[in-house]
Structure 1
Amino acid sequence: MSVRRIGKAEKWSGRVILTGLVAFTLLPFAGMLSAALQEPGSAPTGMSFSFPLHLENFVTAFQVARLPELMWSSVLLVVMVVPASLVLSLLAAYGLEVLRVPGRAIALGVLLLGLTIPFEGLIWPLYYMMRNWGLHNTQIAIALPLIALYLPFGVLWMRAHFQGVPKELDEAAALDGAGSWRALRLIHAPLAKPALSTLTVLFSLWTWNQFIIALVMMDDPLKRTVAGALGAFQGEHGTDIVLLSAGALLIMAPTIVVFLLFQKQFVAALLQGSVKG
């Protein structure tokens, strides 16, 4: 079968389209950065950078929004939610796809149904459940619903990974006397590192940016997620566009850094199994 070569015109048109998309994506961030560097108390109009640049706006926004306390609360939630979600997703997908446990069809149907239900539709049942269990106003009341809500996506994601693993590996492990747990620990878990890395990034970003569940389950604003800082900050300083822009950039900065650090693993997991030699 002949392979069609991509011409120069197609390459350049693709580059132009991608460049345009990148510029379109970065334009709002550039506008926020421009507003955040304006004189405190001013009303920025349009995108312009005037000197001197008022970097002290970021310090003011950092202190006013009390970001250190909120960042610590978000970090604690990430530590509670992400490892548990990864382990449960890995074990459930391994049982469904590799071990092919009884009732897997029903379980897969329930997981697919879970993907169709939005978080907002489960807020009030979760609230009453956590309150009846005596967990309201605790970090656990935020962590448990998040773990449960992440599981459908996590299990189906890991199941897709296991579908691309050759069955001969399990047969060879069985011939060597390796049981299910040993095969998972020595064969499947190492092969699943790209998929698990992507889930780690996604679960971390989703937990860091979670707002609604944290707002309902926690009365103390300083024990919610860092995304809640923007809502409280907007309510108090909604007319101060300069401080609001600086605070929004500070809140988004950790998620951008995490994605930049793990972008290779993210792309590797997306491309895993798409090309087979």
Structure 2
Amino acid sequence: MSKHLPRLVLLLAAATVLFPFLALFSAALQPQSNLAPGLDFPSDPHWENFKTAWTTAGFGSLLKSSAVIALGVVPISLVLATLAGYGLATMRIKAKGPLFALFMVGMALPYEAIVIPLYYDLRSLGLLNSYWAVILPLIGLFMPFGVFWMRAHFESLPRELTEAAAVDGAGSWRTLTRVLLPTARPALTTLGLLYFMWAWNQFLLALVLIQDPDKRTAPAGLGKFVQQFGKNIPLLSAGTLIVITPIVLLYLFFQRHFIKGILQGAVK
């Protein structure tokens, strides 16, 4: 029994993850008149629910906005987090401890508390109702975790790598780009996936800082869609699947790198 227990636990965990998706998919294919769809797969699936949800909510422009914001946040955040993490892990800085503590305080700061002052600051800069109104705050909000993540990665590497590079005459920039970054691919991939997921799922900032409905993110558009079709469970299920599908596909494509990055600290 003990031999098969880990497999049973894994199967149970997989079932708890897959079951909600299957229930959501089954509900999306029910007729719109069915206000309480069960878990049975319909004999006559209504695939047109996805088309109706797509056109009614305007998911084309919403998904585009989410992609623009996510693709704007991820590269800049990765570069800044890598540079800051490298500096805090390898360089001799007098205020290294307090500076890192400041980043950790940023991880505990709820961004809901700064939405109102952020709104007025961005309005004074003329950035409201633009993608930058969401991209720039998200870069700042994601930075504490990114610095913590990359600092932990660089500190886990043997010091012999940087010492050997210094003996060979490599400067800080060359050591980072030629020696340390090739080892950071799993960590960067995992951090990039997390950044993309967090930016894609952004709801509050897009709702407050962008007034144009066509420029809001897909989750923000889905929130308005829920208000419009609150009792149409099949249509809401179809819209939810449309919003989460890109994230699921991205994770499936990079899952090996994601898992490797998560486990990298344990396998040094």
TM-score by length of 1: 0.94
What amino acid does structure 2 have at the position aligned with 1:243?
L
**1:70 matched to 2:62:** yes
> How far is the alpha carbon of 1:55 from its aligned partner?
0.9
Count of residue correspondences = 268
Tell me what 1:195 maps to: 187
8 A Cα contact 1:75 1:208, kept in partner: yes
Residue among 175, 196, 220 paired with 2:167: 175
Question: Deviation of residue 16 (structure 1)?
Answer: 1.2
CA distance in 2, matches of 1:99, 1:216: 40
Q: Is 1:155 matched with 2:155?
A: no
Select which of 104, 114, 118 maps to 2:96.
Answer: 104
1:227 aligns with 2:249: no
For 1:30-80, what per-residue CA distance to the aligned partner results, in whole angstroms no more than 9, with x for missing partners?
211111111133223321112111111111111111111011111111121
Asked if structure 2 preserves the Cα contact closer than 8 Å seen for 1:70 and 1:226, the reply is yes
The answer on whether the counterparts of 1:96 and 1:159 sit within 8 Å (CA) in structure 2 is: yes
* Matched ranges for 1:1-277 at <5 A: 9-276=1-268
Q: Where in structure 2 are there 5+ consecutive unaligned residues?
A: none
Aligned counterparts of 1:100 and 1:246: Cα–Cα separation in 2:
54
**1:75-96 CA deviation, whole Å, 9 max, x = no partner?**
1111211100000000001111
Partner letter of residue 90 of structure 1?
Answer: T
Q: Runs of 4 or more off by more than 6 Å in structure 1?
A: none
1:39 is paired with a residue of what secondary structure?
Answer: coil
- The 8 Å contact of residues 38 and 44 in structure 1, kept in 2 or not, is answered as no
Name stretches of at least 5 consecutive residues in structure 1 with no aligned partner. Answer: 1-8
> Would you say the 8 A contact 1:57–1:242 is kept in 2?
yes
Deviation per CA, 1:79-138: give whole Å up to 9, x if none: 211100000000001111111322111111111101111221221121121112221111
Letter in 1 for 2:12: G
Which residue in 2 is equivalent to 1:4? none
Contact 1:34 1:48 in 2 (8 A): yes
Tell me, in whole angstroms, the C-alpha distance in 2 between the residues paired with 1:188 and 1:83.
18
Q: 1:267 Cα shift?
A: 0.8
RMSD of equivalent CA atoms = 1.2
CA distance in 2, matches of 1:11, 1:138: 56
* Larger deviation, residues 97-106 vs 158-167: 97-106
Q: Which moved more, 1:14-23 or 1:76-85?
A: 14-23
Residue 45 of structure 2 aligns to which amino acid in structure 1?
L
Matched-pair identity in %: 45
1:229 positional shift: 1.7
Q: Please state whether the residue corresponding to 1:90 is helix, strand or coil.
A: helix
Whole-angstrom distance in 2 between the partners of 1:74 and 1:190: 30
Instruction: State whether residues 30 and 37 of structure 2, in contact with CA within 8 Å, keep that contact through their aligned partners in structure 1.
Output: no
1:209-262 deviation per Cα after TM superposition (whole angstroms, max 9, x unaligned): 100011111001110111112101101111111101110011111111111111
Q: TM-score of the superposition, structure 2-length normalised?
A: 0.97
2-side partners of 1:262 and 1:150: how far apart? Answer: 20
